[in-house]
């Protein structure tokens, strides 16, 4: 048995317009098989009919549309791993496309195993490495409670509400919540938001 595993990985992709994501995966951990298949090590989260694989099983295609999202989650805990992702956007009309890409890692720590994270951003002429937050915020907990769904995690004070309103008025280019032509019925998440001054 190898070193203890640190946490599971959950990767999700969500998008407001059609696109295709391509993932190449390789994970190693205490319980990882020598030649694992995707199905042996991952569960699809979301629309399973939006997932296809290459003939060799090494590349997975997650197709997204404006109705659903899709993701995958490890079945086991891994000490470390890597994957790469490419997004293929809609041709000729991707100006309003909004993409969100999430990687979640368990915040649980094991004595003697450091919590390290790094993100790599590749731009046309260079690449940049970004050091991720290494300590969980004070409001994070190692319990099953949804700390982000309760005050004070989402409650803004007067100054923060004022700043948020300024950003909305001066920096927001497009807000689908206000686009009645494309979305005649107000999306549920838009009806829940509060207007900022």
Q: What is the pLDDT of residue 186?
A: 83
Q: What is the pLDDT of residue 47?
A: 81
Enumerate residue ranges in the chain where pLDDT < 50.
1-33, 106-110, 113-136, 139-141, 195-197
At 63-118, the pLDDT tens digits run 777 777 777 777 877 665 666 666 666 667 666 665 555 555 544 444 554 444 44
Return all residues near 175 (Cβ < 8 A) that are at least 6 apart. Answer: 168
3-state secondary structure the chain: CCCCCCECEEEEEEECCCEEEEEEEEEECCCCCCCCCHHHHEEEEECHHHEEECCCCCEEEEEECCCCCEEEEECCCECEEEEEEEEEECCCCCCCCCEEEEEEECCCCECCECCCCEEEEEECCEEEEEECCCCCCCCCCCCCCCHHHCCCCCCCCHHHHHHHHHHHHHCCCCCHHHCCCCCCCCCHHHHHCCCCC
The CA distance from 97 to 77, in Å, is 33
Q: What is the pLDDT of residue 139?
A: 46
Which of 37, 91, 90 lies closest to 60 in space, CA to CA? 37
Q: What is the pLDDT of residue 153?
A: 61
Q: What is the pLDDT of residue 85?
A: 67
Q: Are 152 and 139 in contact (CB under 8 A)?
A: yes
The CA distance from 9 to 106, in Å, is 7
Q: pTM to 2 decimals?
A: 0.36
The encoded tokens of residue 150 equal: 């309760």
The encoded tokens of residue 101 equal: 């890409």
Q: What is the pLDDT of residue 83?
A: 62
């Amino acid at each position: 048995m190898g070193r203890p595993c640190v946490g599971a990985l959950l990767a999700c992709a969500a998008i407001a317009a059609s696109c295709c994501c391509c993932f190449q995966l390789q994970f190693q951990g205490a319980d990882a098989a020598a030649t694992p298949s995707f199905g042996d090590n991952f569960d699809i989260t979301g629309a399973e009919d939006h997932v296809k694989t290459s003939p060799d099983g090494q590349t997975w295609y997650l197709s997204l549309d404006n109705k659903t999202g899709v993701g995958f989650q490890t079945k086991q805990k891994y000490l470390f791993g890597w994957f790469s992702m490419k997004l293929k956007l809609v041709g000729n009309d991707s100006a309003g496309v909004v993409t969100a890409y999430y990687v979640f890692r368990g915040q649980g720590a094991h004595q003697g195993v450091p919590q390290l994270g790094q993100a790599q951003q590749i731009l046309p002429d260079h690449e940049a490495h970004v050091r991720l937050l290494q300590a969980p915020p004070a409001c994070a907990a190692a319990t099953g409670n949804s700390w982000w769904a309760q005050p004070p995690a989402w409650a803004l004070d007067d100054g923060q509400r004022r700043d948020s309103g300024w950003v909305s008025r001066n920096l927001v280019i497009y807000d689908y919540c206000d686009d009645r032509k494309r979305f005649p019925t107000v999306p549920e998440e838009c009806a829940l938001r509060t207007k900022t001054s």
